[in-house]
């Protein structure tokens, strides 16, 4: 049905909320900054600098840079390992691998921890390419631009490509690039736009993504 499938990461494939909030809390405490909003109210998904600005109430580049370094020291060392995989996502990825589907990852998460998580979960072989806002210099400004870059680099036909995400922002980015979109209800966002195609469980997503796909020999592209 689809020539290519692009996935968001946080809130779509993994639940990284607890790990991210822990790293934010430690970074703020080390700088002696009281969070302007409760950590539990923090939105998971926006770029790191945006969330740090919201949490600290500061626009000072030096303060934000220092907070970011403290966050990275915690999250990029061992914190990322606390991320949890949503139920049935391993089956989803293995099923798509067995069909020979072209799968990609496009996330607001920084590239380094994204790659660390994929290696930790042994998911590297599931994705043909991984895109993040900081995957090139200068940094990509937003997710819509990131998807446009991926589509151009990999010569993907928008009309036969789908983006799978968990927030309305993901849907906006997909729509801006003429992509199909599937919203997942187990993530961090809430969809209210009429006509948004939403899936309640990963098993529903498996059925949606594999319509008409032939299954190849078992394990042909599974990670070692």
Q: Concatenate the DSSP letters of all residues of 48-83 into one string.
A: HHHHHHHHH----HHHHHHHHHHHHHHHTTTGGGG-
Q: What is the C-alpha to C-alpha distance for residues 180 and 162, in angstroms, rounded to an integer? A: 4
**Domain ranges, residue 39:** 17-81
Report yes or no on 215 lying in a domain.
no
Report yes or no on 107 lying in a domain.
yes
Containing H/E element for 36? none
pLDDT given for residue 223 in this prediction: 33
Single out the residue of 37, 55, 35 nearest to residue 46, CA to CA: 55
- pLDDT category of residue 214 using cuts at 50, 70 and 90: low
At residue 31, the 3 state secondary structure works out as coil
Report yes or no on 113 lying in a domain.
yes
Report yes or no on 97 lying in a domain.
yes
Answer yes or no: do 135 and 195 share one domain.
yes
pTM of the model: 0.88
Residue 43, pLDDT > 90, answer no
Encode pLDDT of 164-205 as tens digits.
999 999 999 999 999 999 999 999 998 988 888 999 999 999
Report yes or no on 216 lying in a domain.
no
> Which runs of E-coded beta strand occur in the chain?
4-7, 14-15, 84-85, 102-107, 129-132, 161-165, 180-184, 198-199
Which CATH number does the domain housing residue 93 bear?
3.40.50.1000
At residue 221, the 3 state secondary structure works out as coil
Answer yes or no: do 122 and 36 share one domain.
no
| Total count of domains within the chain | 2
Answer yes or no: do 159 and 183 share one domain.
yes
Report yes or no on 217 lying in a domain.
no
Answer yes or no: do 57 and 90 share one domain.
no
Answer yes or no: do 65 and 131 share one domain.
no
Which of 81, 106, 121 finishes a domain? 81
Answer yes or no: do 125 and 143 share one domain.
yes
Residue 219, pLDDT > 50, answer no
Report yes or no on 222 lying in a domain.
no
Single out the residue of 214, 223, 206 nearest to residue 5, CA to CA: 206
Q: How far apart are the first and last CA of the chain?
A: 28
Report yes or no on 179 lying in a domain.
yes
Which CATH number does the domain housing residue 69 bear?
1.10.150
- pLDDT category of residue 213 using cuts at 50, 70 and 90: low
Encode pLDDT of 76-118 as tens digits.
999 999 999 999 999 999 999 999 999 999 999 999 999 999 9
């Amino acid at each position: 049905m689809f020539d290519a499938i692009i996935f968001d990461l946080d809130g779509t494939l993994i639940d990284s909320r607890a790990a991210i909030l822990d790293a934010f809390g430690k970074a703020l405490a080390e700088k002696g900054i009281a969070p302007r909003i409760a950590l539990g109210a923090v939105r998971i998904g926006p770029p790191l600098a945006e969330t740090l600005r919201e949490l600290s109430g500061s626009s000072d580049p030096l303060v934000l840079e220092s907070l970011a370094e403290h966050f990275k020291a915690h999250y990029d060392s061992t914190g990322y390992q606390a991320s949890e995989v949503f139920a049935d996502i391993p089956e989803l990825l293995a099923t798509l691998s067995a069909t020979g589907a072209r799968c990609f990852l496009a996330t607001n998460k920084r590239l380094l921890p994204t790659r660390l998580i994929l290696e930790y979960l042994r998911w590297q072989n599931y994705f043909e390419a991984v895109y993040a806002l900081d995957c090139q210099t200068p940094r990509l400004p937003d997710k819509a631009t990131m998807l446009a870059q991926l589509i151009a680099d990999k010569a993907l036909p928008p009309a036969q490509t789908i983006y799978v995400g968990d927030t309305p922002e993901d849907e906006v980015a997909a729509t801006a690039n003429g992509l199909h979109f599937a919203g997942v209800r187990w993530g961090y966002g809430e969809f209210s736009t009429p006509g948004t195609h939403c899936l309640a469980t990963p098993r529903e997503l498996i059925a949606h993504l594999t319509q008409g796909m032939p299954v190849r020999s078992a394990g042909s592209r599974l990670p070692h």
